[in-house]
Structure 1
Amino acid sequence: MLIGFVRHGQTDWNALGRIQGQTDIPLNENGIRQAGALAERLLSEPKKWDMVVSSDLQRAYITADIIANRLEIPLITGDSRLRERSFGEAEGLTKEERINRWGDEWDRVASGIETDGQMLERGLSALKELSLLYNERNVLIVSHGSFLAMLLHKLCEGLSDERLNNLSYSILEFKDGLWSPLLHNCTRHLEPSLK
């Protein structure tokens, strides 16, 4: 089984450096173009996806819808377990605003921030269900940066936990009970010569 992981396209809050968390921010025009660029890349590659599963937040779901429509594959109803980490009262603030308000340890001080354990629990639950339901299929998951970085790092020890860019594309293969990375944080489809 192959699982592809895609971070949603850009939003205005991404462009402004505002942390989104579970605030439901739409894609901006650039984010819509980015989703189209990945869809075109996937259409031209031999590796074919059987379906797309997405977070239920609109920036991920619309990204997934653009891809699913272009590839002519089913888009499964949005799954709240694939949402971004809740950043509580820090949502909507820039890094500078967060540090000014709570200091460098803002992510430990601001209230309402979902823990790594909570986020991993729901993410691994969704992944286990997908691997049981669709173990003979290749599934593309569209989700969020912090969520995907933590999930990928958990599944593949030693995999870089670098920041995932908007519309980054990663692929893991599940074989003999283990996940192994085939591609990680690739944004080749966003290069100007490929648009």
Structure 2
Amino acid sequence: MATTIGLIRHGVTEWNNLSKAQGISDIPLNEEGVEQATALAKRLSSEEWDVIFSSNLTRARQTAEIIQQCLGVPVFNDERIREIDCGLIEGTTEEERITRWGANWREQTLGMEDLKMVAKRGLTFLEKLIKEYVDKRILVISHGALIGLSLQHLLPQHFQKTYIDNTSITILDAVNHTKSIDEFIVVSNY
């Protein structure tokens, strides 16, 4: 047996539909997001999972609570797996960012959390899980940038882009029963 981690991005929100940067803004799921989380929960109910960890932001917590209702396992909220802090760009669309800061807005800091620090935060959390939950099956409900950046740094050969679909799940297994973050393999990504 191995430690298995299922990384799940929260269900969709109105800001997702409007293409607004959410960051740490506390935006709830919309009706579609609730339906997505419910469908995922039904699919996961045929599998064995031991525990759920969720970002403390509402959209992730709502997704986790819907899944928890089907699985009946404990949920723990953790701010370490919350989304990237997008600083000044939160609540804006790409068009609004270009209007305000120009086409090269990505080259400015604008109060955004450093991408490498986001990945480090995600990887540190995953490493903690594999050390503390040996041979367990763990769901982690988080956010697109945190999951995508973490996977890109952990498994660059599998993840060239950081975009993660809402309510998609990426299953990671620890290899060789080690407690090293470098010993993960991707089992599936759907």
- TM-score, with structure 2 as normaliser: 0.91
Name the counterpart of 2:41.
39
Spell out the pairing of 1:85-96 with structure 2 (5 A cutoff). 85-96=84-95
Name the counterpart of 2:11.
9
Whether the 8 Å CA contact 1:90–1:110 is kept in 2: the answer is: no
Name the counterpart of 1:128.
127
Change (3 A) 1:130 1:149: same
Name the counterpart of 1:152.
151
DSSP 3-state at the match of 2:174:
strand
Aligned residues between the structures: 182
Paired AA for residue 48 in structure 2: K
Change (3 A) 1:89 1:162: closer
Name the counterpart of 2:28.
26
How much identity, in percent, do the aligned residues show? 40
Whether the 8 Å CA contact 2:123–2:154 is kept in 1: the answer is: no
Task: Kindly report structure 1 stretches of 4+ aligned residues shifted beyond 3 Å.
Answer: none
Paired AA for residue 16 in structure 1: L
Distance 1:129 1:163 in 2: 24
Matched, 1:84 2:86: no
1:108-152, Cα deviation, whole Å (9 max, x unpaired): 314210111221222122112211111121100000001101111
1:94-118, Cα deviation, whole Å (9 max, x unpaired): 1111122222332231421011122
Name the counterpart of 1:181.
186
1:152-175, Cα deviation, whole Å (9 max, x unpaired): 112212112252111111101111
DSSP 3-state at the match of 1:6:
strand
Change (3 A) 1:133 1:66: same
Paired AA for residue 122 in structure 2: G
Whether the 8 Å CA contact 1:10–1:166 is kept in 2: the answer is: yes
Is 27-36 or 155-164 further displaced after alignment?
Answer: 155-164
Q: Which runs of 5+ in 2 are unaligned?
A: none
Paired AA for residue 88 in structure 1: G
Is 119-128 or 33-42 further displaced after alignment?
Answer: 119-128
DSSP 3-state at the match of 1:132:
helix
Matched, 1:100 2:102: no
Whether the 8 Å CA contact 1:107–1:113 is kept in 2: the answer is: no
Q: Which runs of 5+ in 1 are unaligned?
A: 187-195
Alpha-carbon RMSD across the aligned residues, in angstroms, is: 1.3
Distance 2:127 2:84 in 1: 19
Whether the 8 Å CA contact 1:50–1:73 is kept in 2: the answer is: yes
Distance 1:110 1:29 in 2: 34
DSSP 3-state at the match of 1:182:
strand
Name the counterpart of 2:48.
48
- TM-score, with structure 1 as normaliser: 0.89
DSSP 3-state at the match of 1:120:
helix
